[in-house]
Chain A
Amino acid sequence: MTSPSPASAIEITGLTKDFSLNLRGIKLRAVDNLTLRVPEGEVFGLLGPNGSGKSTTIKIILGLLEPTAGECKVFGVPSGRVDSRLNVGYLPEAPYFYRYLSGTELVRFYGRICGVPRKQLDERVREVIDWVGLSGAAHRRVGTYSKGMLQRIGLAQALVHDPRLIILDEPTAGVDPVGSAEISELIRKLKTQGKTVLITSHLLAQIEDICDRVAILDKGKLIVEGSVDELVGLHDRQSLIVDSLPAAELEELRRWLASRGHALNAVERPRTRLDQLFLSKVSRPQKGGDAQ
């Protein structure tokens, strides 16, 4: 049994959430006895198929839902309390914001809600908008933004009050590879600032690249949890990347390994990643909009 720790950003213990479907008490169990700890300062990936309980868990962390059983704390504060959200920034899945506000007005609005002092507000708004690369479009109404711009302004509103924990729900869903790479870069920058990031995504390659630890949920239960290296690394194997060898030398290497009781399991050409190829070939977006 883990005890609450000040070094935990999120501490979930025995969390269960049932949704009542009707008065006869038929229930849908969305989260089933989940115990999870997100250490402070890490990038944590929450994975699972649709209906696995990820969104429900996030809503409970954000105090939007009450658990049926168990508890959830954010920096030691029960998540049902309003003050648990003082240090939390949230980017919802498929974000939709007030279309009639400009980017600046939107971030300013949320900054005021989060209690950013008036004296610092203007500067802070400019800072986060610049940070997400939307300075040129901040004066335009959010209703005119593209999907990628919505994600970025969403990040800006999540960061305006400089939270210690940032929760990103499918931050790259529907975003092009260039935008997706930029968001990954932003997440890495957040980590260097000592922030804790909780991210859900169906893009497993992206999760693998940026997360320190991951947890996989299925049907509301925790299936597996650990660091990415621990989970995906094949510890009984090694990869060696060498220059291309002629067939004869390759055969000699095979015999040498066999003499020592090892097998040469595969000979393949190493590959770069398709997303890295794409990024190296296409142009990057200018500040304030989409790719030119």
Chain B
Amino acid sequence: MSIASSSSRTVPFSLGRLGIVAGNTFLEAVRQKLFNFLLLLAVALVASAQLFREFNFGSSELKFISDFGFGAMVFFGSTLTIAATAQLFFSEIENRTALTILAKPIWRTEFIFGKFLGVFAVVGVFCALTTVLLLALLYHRETALMTANPEAFENGRIIHYGDLVLMGVLQWLKFGVLAAITLLIASFSNTNLYTVVMGFFVLVICHLQYLARDAYGAVASLPLRLLVQALGYVFPNFQVFNLADQIGIGQGIGAEVFLRVAGYALIYIAVIGGLAVYSFRNREI
């Protein structure tokens, strides 16, 4: 008697199967020691924080720690996102494990979104650990500076720690959008290398997309103006996530700004993920 029962049973979309694929993707990242470099990053962050003490910046030392910490998160996080997405997807194609899994009763949608969620979880762990480390470094130094230099902290602590955590969340969501973009590229790309290169290319465009929006009004030629405007709409604006500067200078972000940026990211993740599914639907494995 077949455990899977008769063929008259339909197979509805299952978040459970999606979760199984996500869990397996995450496990692959862990067992391939993708997180080892996190150790290097942590050492580098602690060392650079020590370096800033040497310069005797006073309370502004916190700004340097915060800026470099978030800068490292953005740089290494972007690299990890693009490389991990491409690697964890193409390992399935090149090793033909995609054949084996797609020959099971699983939707291609479940497979793609499962891969995405696995990468999203990997990047989430990265952001969480980096944020916690940064938070600990800042708290430790701010406490020491408050004792040494109380007049600079007349109004209390400078760093808004709650907003620091929110920044970490927003960076994670930005990486989610980047992972979805990389997955979309991977869905039609033939090689890992092409996916990684195009991923970085699109990353740069998304960071500079605001220039197209700003330039739109200044362009005389109508076709060029339409092209510039289209660029401003087609690519997501990664600059809107650029709020980490606020932390270093003792300012925070409001709930409304956080929710808008988070909503913006989630909408793009859903749409670009859906486009990746559509593109992958007809890919011949």
Contacts and interface: CB of A to CB of B under 8 A. Distances in A.
Please say whether the chains A and B touch (CB closer than 8 A): yes
A83 B10 contact: yes
B151 interface: no
B28 A76 contact: no
B220 to A, nearest CB: 36
Contact of B20 (A64, A83, A94, A112): A112
B7 A87 contact: yes
Contacts of A77: 7
Nearest to A85: B105
Contact of B4 (A62, A87, A94, A110): A87
Given A64-B285, A92-B99, A98 B2 contact: no
Contacts of B24: 98, 101, 109
B255 interface: no
Interface string B41-53: 0000000000000
B103 A82 contact: no
Nearest to A82: B11
A238 B284 CA distance: 49
Interface string B1-39: 111110101110000010011001001100110000000
A164 B2 contact: yes
Given A86-B7, A109-B24, 18 more contacts: A77-B7, A81-B11, A83-B10, A83-B105, A85-B103, A87-B4, A90-B103, A96-B96, A100-B28, A101-B24, A109-B20, A112-B17, A112-B20, A114-B104, A117-B3, A124-B3, A162-B1, A163-B2
B276 to A, nearest CB: 18
Q: What is the interface of chain B mostly: helix, strand, loop, or mixed?
A: loop
A116 B105 CA distance: 11
A98 B106 contact: no
Contacts of B284: 19, 64-65
Q: What is the interface of chain A mostly: helix, strand, loop, or mixed?
A: loop
B27 A100 contact: yes
B101 interface: yes
Interface residues of B, number: 32
B179 to A, nearest CB: 20
Interface string A107-143: 0011011111100100010000000000000000000
A62 B103 contact: yes
B107 A82 contact: yes
Given A64-B103, A113-B17, A113-B106, A92 B3 contact: no
Q: Which are the 10 A-B pairs with shortest beta-carbon distances?
A: A100-B31, A90-B103, A75-B7, A162-B3, A82-B11, A85-B105, A62-B103, A83-B11, A96-B95, A86-B4
B191 interface: no
From B1, B31, B32, B100, residue with most partner A Cβ within 10 Å: B100
Interface in B255-285: 282, 284-285
B102 interface: yes
A110 B104 contact: yes
A21 B272 CA distance: 28
B97 interface: yes
Contacts of B32: 100
Interface in A28-87: 59, 62-66, 74-77, 81-87
Nearest to B32: A100
Interface in B95-131: 95-97, 99-107
A116 B3 contact: yes
B9 A86 contact: yes
Interface residues of A, number: 43
Nearest to A111: B3
A98 B32 CA distance: 11
A116 B5 CA distance: 10
Nearest to A66: B282
Interface string B71-113: 0000000000000000000000001110111111111000000
A256 interface: no
A72 B31 CA distance: 40
Contact of A92 (B28, B100, B106): B100
Contacts of B95: 96
A157 interface: yes
A101 B5 CA distance: 28
Contacts of B100: 90, 92, 95, 97, 110, 157
Contacts of B17: 112-113
A221 interface: no
A88 interface: yes
Contact of B104 (A75, A98, A113, A117): A113
A83 to B, nearest CB: 5
Contacts of A19: 284
Contacts of B7: 74-77, 83-84, 86-87
Contacts of A117: 3
